[in-house]
């Protein structure tokens, strides 16, 4: 995977204020070299996919149903696929019925259609801070005001959410919805505790709130555990977004929304105006994958790869990082969220990192308000373990050097350096 | 193809004021029966596609490049595909460079992104009347005001366009762009004359206008002729939209925009917020189709099928229609545009038509202003010739019966019935 086709890094770079198109191109020209280890893109390990099976599935779809697979389809997506996607939800213990689902171009289109459906310019959406770049992108494109709710190792801090709701009330406003990624959050790599899910559900009832529950990673728990969904607690208040990008493959661009009927109908109309219909071909490939292949086994295979890579990354961080650096300890999915001491700016550091042959996404990309300059996201899902070791060593060396510079300028104690977090349940906040 | 998954008819039905969801469902329940001949959906004859070749191409892509095909890609689309799409443009004599192209989810996403890029609520867009349902949908979704410019057998009437521009000037406003489908227009089935293209280009210069040139059908001329593109005349003023849906297959959902650089960059950002990136898998299938298969021959094969079907439809109309009905004579692509005498409303007639086992799209779907009640679109691209004969006979019989009713109520001369148009260059206007 070349970095110049890495949508996460590209999107981040486009958001960096003051970085010109030619500077970004120059950065990518270096970053695309094979010797650079990329922890940037949130890319699944497609190499762990049973490619022979996928080839057979695609050939079978075209051989047996080519005239349908290559034709237009309906805007809601194929009923046969929606049945299967409901089965995927049930596998995670989430209620879902084919009729309530709208098939989308990955989870991203789901997030954007929901934003388009609900947001008038200036409307407030509450979201975890940090949160998914593309989620912010969908909100910003629809001129929402994103207000972040801080997180810790147990996910979104519900006390802080209550405070944000109180502030809105004092302003005479209401949040259009709360956007959350409760499971193995991107980018923080933490999950919302069960107790907080119940508190969030209760707050939604008392404050008449909609919740956008974005769940790309729920099935990628390293121990195979599942968490209770918000959809199961307050079904009429939740718009649920799923995707096959992480449990099968992003290349089929297949996600979905599950929503109460009136919302579902509006989403179908919006999607028809947006791109008419999803691809029958990729829909039927996913459908056939789910009906004829051992997809639960494939998810286990993915999860084993990610668990091993996360262990290698956490061990490498322990070994290579300065004592003042803190990070979270994921129990599923793709991400470690890392906080550097004051005096280091992760946006400024990116060019040096790439020159040192390692890439990450700077923290500011995951906030809508310009904060996060002392944070970065490391994604361990894509590089093989020996590359992870190399990359973390390079990043550690760079941060050691930077810290020496900071100390040379500010002295040993100013600005104050933070104590190192424990690995399990490390710090998320900036 | 079941009618209830026919996006054109579904979208039309959703637009009909006063038609409830349950009435639409009831209509579709009947319409989906195999005995109904559908002239509704603008669906290519995928049965004429070399399915074995497509199967081989898909298998080859996954076998040789599976890890890339199933991964995320960049928001602009693959450079390799853009190179090939530029070749498709050159085959039609249209200038295009891979760098200027953005790959989209069919032509529809291109139309919607362009609307999103340019339209502020209340902005005026000038469009042919009638015009593509999905083009209107993209404009309406972005709160544009659509003003129609009437057409005749030579396409958009440029005198009327000048008049519309003069009206706007008197209002102190300017059109954001002119939306046109110059070749084998959907739904009118006519092409803009070369002289009018030059006049439109000149008007764009003098009035500082942008033109959105939508060209799904340019390569489907029955005689293999090509028309000079507006893009070749005023490249800096034209945003060009192409698609592989009609020259290859809609199921790969692959279209593109060619735009001046600043617009291109904004379109890439909008598309990333909308759905992150197009499917690498379908992109690579199209790419491999274009590099390894005789795609020009496949287009000829499609065109031969459509020419034959158009001839059968025109002969059937001649035979079956009341003398007062007029229609256009397509020289390429998919559509005949039919005008019925006053007293008959094609929206009201649809339920009866479906009960008579024939379906079409009522004219109102192709206007943003509620006109077109005396018109309908007949699409001949999908049904085999014997079904076309059957369907036109049923529709002719129905219109004969309706006309008798109109005469019984209004008498022979009130409201005045129009003289029948000649087939070649028949009437477009309502």
Q: How far B47 CA sits from the closest chain A CA (Å)?
A: 6
Tokens of B10: 């579904």
Nearest CB neighbour to A72, from listed B14, B104, B250: B250
Q: Which residue of chain A has the CA closest to B255? A: A275
Q: Could you read off the pLDDT of B215-258 as tens digits, one per residue?
A: 999 999 999 999 999 999 999 999 999 999 999 999 999 999 99
Q: Which residue of chain A has the CA closest to B248? A: A70
With CB atoms and an 8 Å threshold, state whether B281 touches A252. Answer: yes
In a domain, A288, yes or no: yes
Tell me which of A15, A41, A70, A78 to substitute to probe the interface with B (most B C-beta atoms closer than 10 Å): A70
Question: Residue B428 — very low, low, confident or very high, per pLDDT cuts 50/70/90?
Answer: confident
Helix, strand or coil for residue B218?
helix
Query: Are both B104 and B14 inside the same structural domain?
Result: no
Q: What number of CA atoms fall less than 13 Å from residue A111's CA on the CB side?
A: 33
CB B275, CB B291: distance < 8 Å: no
Identify which of A352, A330, A351, A346 has the alpha carbon closest to the alpha carbon of residue A397.
Answer: A352
Residues 6 or more apart in contact with residue A376 via CB below 8 angstroms: A337, A338, A340, A346, A360, A361, A362, A363
What is the distance, to the nearest Å, from the Cα of residue A62 to the centroid of all Cα atoms in its chain? 32
In a domain, B1, yes or no: no
Task: Tell me the residue ranges of DSSP E strands in A69-190.
Answer: 101-104, 124-129, 145-152, 155-156, 175-180
Nearest CB neighbour to A141, from listed B14, B49, B273: B273
With CB atoms and an 8 Å threshold, state whether A41 touches B272. Answer: no
Work out the average pLDDT over B60-74: 96
Residues 6 or more apart in contact with residue A75 via CB below 8 angstroms: A102, A268, A269, A271, A272, A276, A277, B7, B10, B11
Query: Are both B239 and B195 inside the same structural domain?
Result: yes
Q: Is B83 exposed, middle or buried (0-12, 13-18, 19+ CB in 10 A)?
A: middle
Contacts of B40 in chain A (CB under 8 A): none
Q: Which residue of chain A has the CA closest to B271? A: A109
Where do the H-state alpha helices sit in B177-245?
A: 194-206, 230-233
Task: Tell me the residue ranges of DSSP E strands in B262-407.
Answer: 326-327, 335-339, 358-359, 361-362, 375-379
Between the two ends of chain B, the Cα-to-Cα distance in Å is 30
ipTM score over 0.90, yes or no? yes
Q: Which residue of chain A has the CA closest to B249? A: A70
pLDDT for residue A411: 78
pLDDT for residue A15: 52
Q: How far A54 CA sits from the closest chain B CA (Å)?
A: 7
Number of domains in chain B: 2
pLDDT for residue A299: 98
To which residue do tokens 């779809």 refer?
A61
Dmax over Cα atoms in chain A, in whole Å? 71
Tokens of B54: 């497509």
Identify which of A150, A149, A214 has the alpha carbon closest to the alpha carbon of residue A175.
Answer: A149
Nearest CB neighbour to B71, from listed A43, A51, A285: A43
Tell me which of A257, A273, A305, A361 to substitute to probe the interface with B (most B C-beta atoms closer than 10 Å): A273
pLDDT for residue A25: 60
Q: How many CB atoms are closer than 10 A to CB A386?
A: 10
At residue B405, what are phi and psi to the nearest 5 degrees?
A: -60, -45
CB A154, CB A193: distance < 8 Å: yes
Query: Are both A286 and A302 inside the same structural domain?
Result: no
Identify which of B183, B180, B200 has the alpha carbon closest to the alpha carbon of residue B132.
Answer: B180
With CB atoms and an 8 Å threshold, state whether A70 touches B251. Answer: yes
- DSSP label of A144: P
CB B134, CB A267: distance < 8 Å: no
Domain stop point among A259, A292, A325: A292
Average pLDDT, chain B: 91
Looking at the DSSP bridge assignments, the partners of residue B338 are B327, B376
Average pLDDT, chain A: 91
Q: The domain spanning residue A241 has which CATH number?
A: 3.40.640.10
CB B327, CB B421: distance < 8 Å: yes
Nearest CB neighbour to B70, from listed A46, A265, A269: A46
Backbone CA torsion sign across B55, B387, B329, B314:
positive
With CB atoms and an 8 Å threshold, state whether B11 touches A71. Answer: no
What's the rounded Cα separation, in Å, for the pair A18 and A16? 6
Domain stop point among B265, B292, B319: B292
Q: Could you read off the pLDDT of B251-281 as tens digits, one per residue?
A: 999 999 999 999 999 999 999 999 999 999 9
Work out the average pLDDT over B315-332: 97
Query: Are both A270 and A309 inside the same structural domain?
Result: no
pLDDT < 70 stretches in chain A = 1-32, 412-427, 429-430
Altogether, the residues listed in chain B come to a count of 430
With CB atoms and an 8 Å threshold, state whether A47 touches B62. Answer: no
With CB atoms and an 8 Å threshold, state whether A41 touches B72. Answer: yes
In a domain, B362, yes or no: yes
Q: Which residue of chain A has the CA closest to B135? A: A273
In a domain, B429, yes or no: no
Residues 6 or more apart in contact with residue A26 via CB below 8 angstroms: none
Identify which of B127, B154, B129 has the alpha carbon closest to the alpha carbon of residue B328.
Answer: B154
Q: How far A411 CA sits from the closest chain B CA (Å)?
A: 43
Q: Could you read off the pLDDT of A139-187 as tens digits, one per residue?
A: 999 999 999 999 999 999 999 999 999 999 999 999 999 999 999 999 9
Query: Are both A283 and A364 inside the same structural domain?
Result: no
Query: Are both A15 and A59 inside the same structural domain?
Result: no
Looking at the DSSP bridge assignments, the partners of residue B240 are B213, B258
Task: Tell me the residue ranges of DSSP E strands in A71-210.
Answer: 101-104, 124-129, 145-152, 155-156, 175-180
Query: Are both B132 and B162 inside the same structural domain?
Result: yes
In a domain, B427, yes or no: no
Query: Are both B182 and B276 inside the same structural domain?
Result: yes
Q: Which residue of chain A has the CA closest to B57? A: A59
Nearest CB neighbour to B112, from listed A74, A273, A281: A273
Q: Could you read off the pLDDT of B166-178 as tens digits, one per residue?
A: 999 999 999 999 9
With CB atoms and an 8 Å threshold, state whether A274 touches B51. Answer: no
pLDDT for residue B173: 97
With CB atoms and an 8 Å threshold, state whether A112 touches B275. Answer: yes
Query: Are both A205 and A346 inside the same structural domain?
Result: no
Contacts of A99 in chain B (CB under 8 A): none
Q: Which domain holds residue A74?
A: 51-292
Q: Could you read off the pLDDT of B123-168 as tens digits, one per residue?
A: 999 999 999 999 999 999 999 999 999 999 999 999 999 999 999 9
Query: Are both B133 and B158 inside the same structural domain?
Result: yes
With CB atoms and an 8 Å threshold, state whether B67 touches A75. Answer: no
Domain stop point among B231, B259, B292: B292
Query: Are both A359 and A270 inside the same structural domain?
Result: no
In a domain, A354, yes or no: yes
Between the two ends of chain A, the Cα-to-Cα distance in Å is 30
At residue B351, what are phi and psi to the nearest 5 degrees?
A: -60, -45
Q: How far A242 CA sits from the closest chain B CA (Å)?
A: 14
Query: Are both A315 and A205 inside the same structural domain?
Result: no
Q: What number of CA atoms fall less than 13 Å from residue B125's CA on the CB side?
A: 35
């Amino acid at each position: 995977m070349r970095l110049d086709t890495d949508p996460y890094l590209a999107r981040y770079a486009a958001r960096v204020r003051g970085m010109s198109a030619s500077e970004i191109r120059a950065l990518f020209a270096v970053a695309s070299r094979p010797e650079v280890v990329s922890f940037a893109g949130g890319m699944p390990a497609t190499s762990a996919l049973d490619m022979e099976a996928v080839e057979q599935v695609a050939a079978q779809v075209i051989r047996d149903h080519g005239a349908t697979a290559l034709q237009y389809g309906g805007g809601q997506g194929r009923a046969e696929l929606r049945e299967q996607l409901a089965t995927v939800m049930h596998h995670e213990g989430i209620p879902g019925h084919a009729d309530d689902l709208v098939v989308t171009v990955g989870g991203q289109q789901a997030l954007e259609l929901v934003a388009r459906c609900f947001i008038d310019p200036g409307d407030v959406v509450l979201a975890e801070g940090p949160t998914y770049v593309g989620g912010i992108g969908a909100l910003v494109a629809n001129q929402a005001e994103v207000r972040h709710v801080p997180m810790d190792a147990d996910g979104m801090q519900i006390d802080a959410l209550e405070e944000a709701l109180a502030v809105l009330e004092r302003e005479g406003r209401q949040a259009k919805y709360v956007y959350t990624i409760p499971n193995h959050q991107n980018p923080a790599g933490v999950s919302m505790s069960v107790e907080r899910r119940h508190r969030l559900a209760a707050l939604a009832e008392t404050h008449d709130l909609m919740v956008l529950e974005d769940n790309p990673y729920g099935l990628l728990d390293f121990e195979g555990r599942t968490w209770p969904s918000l959809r199961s607690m307050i079904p009429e208040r939740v718009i649920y977004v799923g995707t096959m990008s992480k449990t099968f493959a992003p290349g089929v661009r297949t996600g979905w929304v599950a929503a109460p009927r009136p919302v579902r109908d509006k989403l179908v109309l919006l999607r028809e105006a947006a791109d008419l219909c999803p691809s029958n071909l990729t829909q039927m490939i996913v459908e056939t994958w789910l009906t004829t292949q051992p997809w639960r086994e494939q998810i286990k295979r993915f999860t084993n790869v990610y668990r091993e890579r996360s262990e290698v990354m956490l061990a490498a961080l322990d070994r290579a990082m300065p004592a003042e650096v803190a990070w979270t300890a994921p129990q599923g999915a793709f991400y470690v969220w890392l906080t550097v001491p004051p005096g280091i700016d992760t946006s400024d550091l990116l060019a040096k990192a790439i020159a040192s042959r390692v890439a990450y996404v700077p923290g500011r990309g995951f906030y809508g308000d310009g904060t996060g300059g002392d944070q970065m996201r490391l994604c361990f899902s894509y590089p093989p373990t020996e590359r992870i070791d190399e990359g973390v060593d390079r990043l550690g060396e760079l941060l050691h050097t930077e810290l020496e510079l900071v100390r040379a300028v500010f002295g040993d104690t100013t600005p104050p350096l933070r104590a190192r977090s424990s690995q399990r349940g490390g710090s998320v906040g900036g």
